[in-house]
Amino acid sequence: MTGLLSRLRGPELVAHFQRWCGLYPLSGDNSAQRRFPEADSKSPHCLSGARSQAQWKEQVKTETNGALIGIAVVMYIGQASKDVLRWPRPPSPPVVKLEVRVDAEYGMPSTHAMAASAIPFTFLLATMNRYKYPFELGLLFAVTICTLVSLSRIYTGMHTVLDVLCGIAITALLVTVSYPFWDAIENFQMKNRFAPLLALTLSFLLSINYPELDHWSTARGDTTNIVSAGGGAAIATWINYQWDLLPEPLSAPPYEIPLLSPELIGRMGARFTIGIVIVFFARQAIKSMALAFVCKLAGVSPGDQQARKLLWVEVPYKYITYSCLGVVGLALCPAVHRYLSL
């Protein structure tokens, strides 16, 4: 068993999978890692093989308030575990690294694998008795998403096989343990008058008490973004229920899934476009005001990039920004859509 775990944790399997996919390092490149001037952004890594240039881009997208709150819990546990365990990412060489922004973070477990397990499977569990669709089709979709994202983390050289497997296993455990309590949690979020205060307090305490870093990385800030957005989503859930903003169903579940039509596609496109515009401008305005306010309290300049990495600057301004965006995205945007009859 020890030998198997060592093999799964080693870089050789990662490198072998990359070569099998046609991914090879540049000829004569013996450096531990090739870095670019854009080291803090997403930059391509030049390669020879099946592709001449590769750039992997992933985006996690949630569909419901409950999914966003659940993913916040999963991501916090995953990110915090990384900075507690402090297992390094696969070394290069022999692995080819296709990302540089998050390379300063630790690797165990893979939070991409955790998110790719949590989102589709919680969505499946939450909708299988609410909408009419073949369960087998939903299960196939969830397994496909989880598999593709997990393999992508190995392909990009960001995680070992053990990182990915542990990420999936942790998510499976969390979903299994929490599933019986989903209805009770949702009722509490909607009906209890202290739910908004608890959501704000808990998300801030989790963010400010994130495991101490031995070196700065994007982990703490990214985790604060996700956790605070989850807190904002919980507040939006309470607002929607208390202010009677949730549309009343016309019949009892399970509901028919409407067929795609030009009218429906147009409405979906309009809702998406309007929502993106609202969130974009809200983020710009809230972030500017929050950063200026927090920096003034801390006695530092908002333009000082190093000061932004301080605990009592980075966490509060990101917490304020994304808590508000959670409310904007899940309460304000739907209200605008209803007002416009979309």
Is the pLDDT at 338 greater than 60? The verdict is yes
Is the pLDDT at 31 greater than 70? The verdict is no
Active site (annotated) includes residue 215: no
Helical packing angle, 311-327 and 219-242, nearest 10° = 30
Whether the model clears a pTM of 0.75, i.e. scores above it, the answer is yes
Active site (annotated) includes residue 159: yes
Q: Cβ distance 35 to 167 under 8 Å?
A: no
Task: Please state, in angstroms and rounded to a whole number, the distance separating the CA atoms of residues 175 and 330.
Answer: 23
- From 45, 159, 215, 337, the catalytic residue: 159
Q: What is the pLDDT of residues 61-105, one digit of tens each?
A: 333 455 556 688 888 888 888 888 888 888 888 888 887 766 677
For residue 119, which phi and psi values (nearest 5 degrees)?
A: -65, -55
Position with higher pLDDT, 142 vs 50:
142
Percent of the chain with pLDDT over 70: 86
pLDDT at 250: 74
Is the pLDDT at 54 greater than 90? The verdict is no
pLDDT at 41: 37
113-117, 166-170, 247-251, 285-289: which range is least confident on average? Answer: 247-251
**Residues 6 or more apart in contact with residue 160 via CB below 8 angstroms:** 8, 9, 10, 11, 13, 14, 89, 90, 107, 108, 154
pLDDT at 70: 67
Average pLDDT over residues 155-174: 92
pLDDT at 32: 41
pLDDT band at 172 (very low <50, low <70, confident <90, very high): very high
For residue 339, which phi and psi values (nearest 5 degrees)?
A: -60, -35
209-218, 282-291, 296-305, 309-318: which range is least confident on average? Answer: 209-218
pLDDT at 318: 94
Is the pLDDT at 121 greater than 70? The verdict is yes
Task: Please state, in angstroms and rounded to a whole number, the distance separating the CA atoms of residues 109 and 160.
Answer: 9
Is the pLDDT at 111 greater than 60? The verdict is yes
Q: What is the pLDDT of residues 11-20, one digit of tens each?
A: 889 889 989 9
Task: Please state, in angstroms and rounded to a whole number, the distance separating the CA atoms of residues 332 and 71.
Answer: 21
Position with higher pLDDT, 198 vs 249:
198
Give residue limits of the domains in the chain: 10-25+62-181, 192-245+261-342
Which residue in 103, 94, 82 sits closest to 223, CA to CA? 82
- From 16, 112, 215, 337, the catalytic residue: 112
pLDDT at 139: 95
Position with higher pLDDT, 5 vs 287:
287
Is the pLDDT at 317 greater than 90? The verdict is yes
pLDDT at 27: 64
